[in-house]
Amino acid sequence: MSDAIIVADGVRIPPAALTVRAVRASGPGGQNVNKVATRVELSVDLAAIEGLSEAARARLRELARHRLAADGRLLVTSQKTRSQAANLEDARAKVADLVMAALRVPRRRVKTAMPRSADQRRLEGKKRQAAAKRWRARPSEGD
């Protein structure tokens, strides 16, 4: 089995949480593509990740919602190279990046009011546009 993935201090994915499967890749590769299984599918048990808070675990589920299998496992694939070992490293890096992104707490958005001057500029622009359109109109009978 492969080694644990160390994401950050105190956060790691143990080898028992990882399942690696090699399948035939699509795309270029000549005759090799029909013979050698170079594409790597790495499945990770999210519940087994050590050192992850519940908030970070929820963020990870949200970030990886399109990559989650029916049983709740994270499924990451890689077929970048023609080497199975390089694709495995790429898939492990993708998992580490996802977990690292989930560790970052997003900043709260501070609601701000629109500046009064910006609102006045917007209204002045509307008035200018309306005046220009009035000049383009046909003169009425009473004028």
What secondary structure does DSSP assign to 55-104, as a single string? HHHHHHHHHTGGGB-TTS-EEEEE-SSS-HHHHHHHHHHHHHHHHHHHHS
pLDDT at position 78: 92
Residues 6+ apart with CB under 8 A from 72: 46, 47
Q: What's the average model confidence in pLDDT over 15-34?
A: 81
Backbone angles phi and psi of 11, in degrees to 5: -115, 120
Q: Do 13 and 99 contact (CB within 8 A), yes or no? A: yes
pLDDT digits (tens, 9 = 90+) for 77-129: 998 888 889 999 999 999 999 999 998 998 999 999 999 999 999 999 999 99
Match domain 5-103 to its CATH number in 3.40.50.2000, 3.40.50.2300, 3.20.20.70, 3.30.160.20.
3.30.160.20
Q: What's the average model confidence in pLDDT over 23-43?
A: 81
Q: How far apart are CA 93 and CA 98, in angstroms?
A: 9
How remote is the C-alpha of 93 from its chain's centroid? 14
pLDDT at position 76: 92
Tell me the pTM.
0.71
Query: Greater confidence, 121 or 3?
Result: 121
Q: How far apart are CA 40 and CA 37, in angstroms?
A: 8
pLDDT at position 3: 84
Token pair in block for residue 73:
């496992």
Q: Tell whether the model's pLDDT for residue 142 goes beyond 70.
A: no
For CA atoms 22, 28, 29, 35, the dihedral sign is positive
Q: How far apart are CA 105 and CA 58, in angstroms?
A: 11
Query: Greater confidence, 89 or 137?
Result: 89
pLDDT at position 143: 54
